[in-house]
Structure 1
Amino acid sequence: MVKLKDTYPLYLNNEAAQPNTDLEVTDKFTNEVAFRTALATPDIIDQAIVGAVEATEPMARMASYERQAVLQHCVDRFEERFDELSYALCVEAGKPIKDSEGEVTRLIDTFRIAAEESVRMYGEAMPLDISERAKGYQAIWKRYPIGPCSFISPFNFPLNLAAHKIAPAIAVGCPFIIKPASKTPLGTIIMGEILAETDMPKGAFSVLPASRDGADLFTVDERLKLLSFTGSPGVGWDLKARCGKKKIVLELGGNAAVIIDQDADLDDALERVIFGAFYQSGQSCIGVQRIIIHESVYDRFKEMLVEKTKSLVAGDPKNRDTFIGPMISEGEAKRLKGWIDEAVEGGASLLCGGKREGNMLEATLLENVHRDAAALNEEAFGPLAILQKFSDFDDALDEVNRSMFGLQAGIFTRDLFKMFDAWDRLEVGGIVINDVPSYRVDNMPYGGVKDSGIGREGIRFAMEDMTEIRNLVVRRT
């Protein structure tokens, strides 16, 4: 049986520090304090930035094989501490234990990919003699690390989404400071503990739980050259407005749609839609929120969805049979419950679910939701999905695009032409055919358009953001 410690440190310039135990982190199922961590003050954050600046050149000089060795050490240690990481995630995030184990597996995958990519920092030789004036000139370019990076990671995938920032930074040789979500800091702190076992240059990393007010330096300090933020759109766009000259990557919200066309395998679609809508209580920016179903199969698929949704086991996330665990807080559960009630008052039909107790909210299906309802248009970020009907495939694509968000979309269809039409027309960062928009593999380009953000994650693509191209021109005649 894994047992958590009562207190955990922060990591400042590669070393554990325990200046206080001011951050209380609760067990999201019992709502009791599970442990306490150190909370970084503005002075500590400033020390971390100074350390990162001083580590810039030593990190850039690390050989590819040395960076790869650091990443491989993390892979090995994550595997050794698999049960501890899984249990910590289950407690601090309220994520069902099977899902927690799945996220630890993805954490390992992400660092393994980064280890592979760390020795593939390719450049290019290119001719410049495109006209007479450039005869005898040749160019060579390669990528150099951008410098100290600032990372802010969210509560819903606190291991893997932090990994998608930390691992590529190490792979390219960028020092970094990271602020994990205050509700779920432990996984990132354990990463810091493991990174502290390596011989990276002093100042290469700092893991700093911090209050939102105390973390302003993560955004505005000009010594930091890149800000990568994953979280809510309101916060993300505000950070962009304040981040000054630094490069910014934003992975924000969504209200993802899946289209179930008339030729879909409904049994297969059912299992994937249930997963996409209610996995980790719907707290995913690519969770299925809108289910757009062809009229010829609508009634049948609705009946299947309702029956399956009602069968989902809700309760203690430490129980291996649990599928629906708690939301991250009672406040978030109240918010979404309010949206559900508002939709029903506006004429929507409640097909199942809708009840709340504390931060436990039942898996909920609605139909006939008013087009202006918050439940349909905003990011639910909880166990809610809305059924919609279509007759014409073009209209279904238009309905997907009606959203202010554009992260990912899913389409169940066997029609090759519809697949390519959707790829051309949907205003999203990614389209998944015969699966839900919730599907992600950690080496693929991932990110959104419109209010869903700027830039792409996925190790190779994040590495590009964390580097700058430096060109070398040679006159040979």
Structure 2
Amino acid sequence: MPPPEPKVSEVATELELFIAGEWTSGTGEGHYELRSPGTGEHLADVPRASKADVDKAVAAAQAASEEMRHWSAFERADLCLKAYELWEERVEEIARILTMEQGKPFRAEAIDDIAESGDYLQIAAEDVKRLKGDLIPTTERNRRMFTVRRPVGVWAAITPWNFPVMIPMETVGPGLATGNAVIVKPPLHTCWAMLEAARVIEEAGFPRGALSVIPGDGDVGEWLVTHPGIQGISFTGSSETGKRIVASMGLKRSIMEMSGNGPLIVAGDADVEAAAVAAVYGAYYNAGQVCTATERVIVLDDLHDQFVDATLKAAEAVNLGDPMDDATNMGPLNNEPTAAKMDRHIEDARRRGAEVLVGGGRASGHATDLYYQFTVLDRVPEESLVSREESFGPVVPILTAKDDDDAIGIANRTNLGLQAAVFTNDITKAFWYADRIRSGTVIVNDSTDFWETFQPFGGAAGTDTGWGRQRIEEFTDLQTVVFNLRQE
């Protein structure tokens, strides 16, 4: 079944920014060419924003948030649900744009990606109705003390290219539901789908300025991070960029979700076939461009050969190809720097003695040089780059451990503790591992890529993965109100 044609004009079009409730070319100088990683074709021209554009968006966002903070939770929830209904009508249209600009397979991934992105509106609409304060006992009989939740104000969402709609919606959904305004800064080269998604928010009837979408590079991000009219920063991206944001944003509220190097541990009593399928899935989903991807597989020595055989069998299910082809379940990498990093990591692993069992380089015969072979590396030294750093590509690096304690040691020798997985059929051992792995999330008997909308998500303290988000309360301030009642 061929993918639907987009309802947005022709391919190769001139995009507009969405600023303060208006579609505009902005006031920046020049434009950026948005090109497809799958075909190399010129898809669109993206205007470059100026600082004046950011100032305009912030002013409108302040006004919108000031209006919405006085609405009831049910009024905001109703608008979110209206937007969700409109979203459902546009899923395949936005998904097709997502595939064109990002490269993930349309049928296998993009449709579900966009559908789940809209869920953030629906779930936030329900959660905000149950957002409540507390009545607090006081020491004096004529006083009453209680707490209420207030919106933070204006959030800037600085988001990455691997999930250019879903990750912004992690902030937009709960942000709008709680009375905040949100300014999204997607990357220039994956901004079209989010701009199209903004039309849903506009059509739903939110106040002008409640959402702005301003694609850009580091300069736009810096203007937002340091702007005095921004009260909250939501960032997803690399640890290095996150560190710079934290150093420059001052005392703003923040949600920081950064790099991962997730280990998948195969314990001695594990279901080896299931572990292999999960490891392969975690490496080919979105071509491995996920912060929770299978970055390292740590297998106990006794299971090594069995696990390798199971992994090679599971890898046969990977079909690299045109992301618009329904048979494809792995598309190209999104950009050249990511592909070049994969080149470096695999070459380094080879040089240190790792064995390439499958793949090992770029795939020929495709429209661009961004198609990468699904790769399995065996006997990977712990000191290799593919073990120590986030590769962000379709690779399963297999390391071995002598026993459970050794596996924990290898898993924890990293500064990136975001999400880990362990396969075991012993519930006691599962808890043993969960108690010892330094990671924000531990998944038992599933892929490191497991994801549930609105699950608490963030890194372990002391690592470079940030503190993430917990619940919808993250988007609110807790205000305490105290009454001194007249004494009769």
Q: Which category describes the TM-score, using the shorter chain as reference length?
A: over 0.9
Residue of 12, 19, 41 corresponding to 1:12: 19
Structure 1 alignment gaps of length 5 or more: none
- What is the root-mean-square deviation in Å for CA atoms of aligned residues? 1.8
1:146, 1:468 within 8 Å by CA — same for their partners in 2? yes
Provide, for residues 431-475 of structure 1, a one-character-per-residue CA deviation record: whole Å limited to 9, x for no partner: 1111122101012111112444333336xx1x3222111112244
Q: 1:455 is paired with a residue of what secondary structure?
A: coil
The equivalent of 2:114 in structure 1 is 104
Q: 2:256 is paired with a residue of what secondary structure?
A: strand
**Inter-partner Cα distance in structure 1 for 2:435 and 2:313:** 35
Q: Is the aligned partner of 1:40 residue 2:49?
A: yes
Provide, for residues 323-368 of structure 1, a one-character-per-residue CA deviation record: whole Å limited to 9, x for no partner: 2211011232122112101110121111211121411111111122
Residue of 165, 186, 189 corresponding to 2:192: 186
1:15, 1:196 within 8 Å by CA — same for their partners in 2? no
Q: Is the aligned partner of 1:381 residue 2:392?
A: yes
**Inter-partner Cα distance in structure 2 for 1:99 and 1:150:** 27
Shift of 1:310: 4.6
1:55-134, aligned counterparts within 5 Å? Answer: 55-97=64-106, 98-129=108-139
1:263-278, aligned counterparts within 5 Å? Answer: 263-278=269-284
**Inter-partner Cα distance in structure 1 for 2:40 and 2:243:** 31
Provide, for residues 261-290 of structure 1, a one-character-per-residue CA deviation record: whole Å limited to 9, x for no partner: 122222222222211121111000000111
**Inter-partner Cα distance in structure 1 for 2:168 and 2:455:** 16
1:224-373, aligned counterparts within 5 Å? Answer: 224-357=230-363, 358-373=369-384
1:151, 1:218 within 8 Å by CA — same for their partners in 2? no
Q: 1:258 is paired with a residue of what secondary structure?
A: strand
The equivalent of 1:404 in structure 2 is 415
1:24-39, aligned counterparts within 5 Å? Answer: 24-39=33-48
The code of the aligned residue for 1:59 comes to M
1:222, 1:245 within 8 Å by CA — same for their partners in 2? no
Taking structure 2 as the reference length, what is the TM-score of the superposition? 0.92
2:381, 2:399 within 8 Å by CA — same for their partners in 1? no
1:410-425, aligned counterparts within 5 Å? Answer: 410-425=421-436
Q: Is the aligned partner of 1:2 residue 2:5?
A: yes
Aligned residues: 470
Shift of 1:7: 2.4
The code of the aligned residue for 2:333 comes to M
The code of the aligned residue for 1:76 comes to E
Shift of 1:136: 5.5
Shift of 1:137: 4.4
Provide, for residues 125-156 of structure 1, a one-character-per-residue CA deviation record: whole Å limited to 9, x for no partner: 12134xxxx56544211111111111111111
**324-333 vs 206-215, greater mean Cα deviation:** 206-215
Shift of 1:54: 2.3
Shift of 1:19: 3.6
Taking structure 1 as the reference length, what is the TM-score of the superposition? 0.94
**Inter-partner Cα distance in structure 2 for 1:70 and 1:141:** 25
Structure 2 alignment gaps of length 5 or more: 364-368
Q: 2:157 is paired with a residue of what secondary structure?
A: strand
Q: Is the aligned partner of 1:160 residue 2:170?
A: no
**Inter-partner Cα distance in structure 1 for 2:401 and 2:219:** 46
Q: 1:288 is paired with a residue of what secondary structure?
A: coil
The code of the aligned residue for 1:307 comes to K
Provide, for residues 80-134 of structure 1, a one-character-per-residue CA deviation record: whole Å limited to 9, x for no partner: 11211111111111001111112012112222111111212211112134xxxx5
1:177, 1:207 within 8 Å by CA — same for their partners in 2? yes
The equivalent of 1:454 in structure 2 is 466
Q: 1:296 is paired with a residue of what secondary structure?
A: helix
14 and 451 in structure 1: CA distance in 2 versus 1, 3 angstrom threshold: farther
**Inter-partner Cα distance in structure 2 for 1:420 and 1:370:** 28
Q: Is the aligned partner of 1:431 residue 2:437?
A: no
**Inter-partner Cα distance in structure 2 for 1:310 and 1:110:** 34
Provide, for residues 280-305 of structure 1, a one-character-per-residue CA deviation record: whole Å limited to 9, x for no partner: 11000000111111222210111121
Shift of 1:203: 2.0
The code of the aligned residue for 1:230 comes to T
Q: 2:55 is paired with a residue of what secondary structure?
A: helix
**Inter-partner Cα distance in structure 2 for 1:285 and 1:81:** 27
**Inter-partner Cα distance in structure 1 for 2:5 and 2:180:** 34
Shift of 1:423: 2.2
Q: 2:482 is paired with a residue of what secondary structure?
A: strand
**Inter-partner Cα distance in structure 2 for 1:452 and 1:171:** 30
**Inter-partner Cα distance in structure 1 for 2:143 and 2:75:** 35
Shift of 1:56: 2.8
1:145, 1:173 within 8 Å by CA — same for their partners in 2? yes
**Inter-partner Cα distance in structure 1 for 2:114 and 2:306:** 37
**Inter-partner Cα distance in structure 2 for 1:267 and 1:424:** 25
1:328, 1:359 within 8 Å by CA — same for their partners in 2? yes
Q: 1:297 is paired with a residue of what secondary structure?
A: helix
The code of the aligned residue for 2:171 comes to K
311 and 199 in structure 1: CA distance in 2 versus 1, 3 angstrom threshold: closer
1:233, 1:451 within 8 Å by CA — same for their partners in 2? no
**Inter-partner Cα distance in structure 2 for 1:456 and 1:329:** 26
1:252, 1:451 within 8 Å by CA — same for their partners in 2? no
**Inter-partner Cα distance in structure 2 for 1:224 and 1:453:** 23
**Inter-partner Cα distance in structure 1 for 2:201 and 2:97:** 18
The code of the aligned residue for 2:230 comes to L
**Inter-partner Cα distance in structure 2 for 1:414 and 1:308:** 20
The percent identity for this pair of structures is 28
